[in-house]
Structure 1
Amino acid sequence: MRVKCVICDKIEKIEDETLVAKRLRNRPIHTYMCQDCSIRISERTKARIDTGKFRFYRERPEKDDW
């Protein structure tokens, strides 16, 4: 299966039997990102988190007592 990265527009070939290929075939909302772009984004995100100025919204705030 030929896929195109949504960020850098690089065209790659992946095996038809992989989980990524199945997700792309069955759910068109899923997009493909190449390994280079994925690594670059994760490294830059980690660097922003380490600066201390990045707000990471994964944790839910505690409930107010009212």
Structure 2
Amino acid sequence: MRVKCVICDTIQQLEDDLPLAKKLRNRPIHTYMCNSCSTRIADNTKRRLATGKFRFFRTSSKFDEEF
């Protein structure tokens, strides 16, 4: 299965029997993000959390206080 990264538009090949390929095939609302974009976003989020000015708005305030 050919997939395209949402952020950087690189095209990659996934095995047809992988769970991710099945999820993308059966639910078109789900999008694919390559590993390099995923790690870059995770690193940037960790840096924002380290500043102390970044909050997760989808969680409860009790969860935010643990960080």
Same fold (TM over 0.5): yes
- TM-score, length of structure 2 as denominator length: 0.85
Counterpart-to-counterpart distance in 2, 1:16 and 1:59: 34
Task: Render the CA deviation track for 1:10-31: whole Å, top value 9, x for unaligned.
Answer: 0000100001100011000000
Counterpart of 1:28 in structure 2 is 28
The amino acid that maps onto 1:48 is: R
Counterpart-to-counterpart distance in 2, 1:49 and 1:58: 15
Query: Whose helix fraction is larger, Structure 1's or Structure 2's?
Result: 2
* Residue 4, structure 1, aligned to residue 8, structure 2: no
4+ residue runs over 4 A deviation: none
The amino acid that maps onto 2:16 is: D
Q: Secondary structure at the match of 1:3?
A: strand
Flag the structure with larger Rg. 1
After superposition, the CA RMSD in angstroms is 1.4
> Structure 2 matches for 1:49-60, cutoff 5 A?
49-60=49-60
Structure 1: 5+ residue stretches without partners: none
Structure 2: 5+ residue stretches without partners: 63-67
Identity of aligned residues (%): 63
* Residue 13, structure 1, aligned to residue 13, structure 2: yes
- TM-score, length of structure 1 as denominator length: 0.86
Equivalenced residues, count:
62
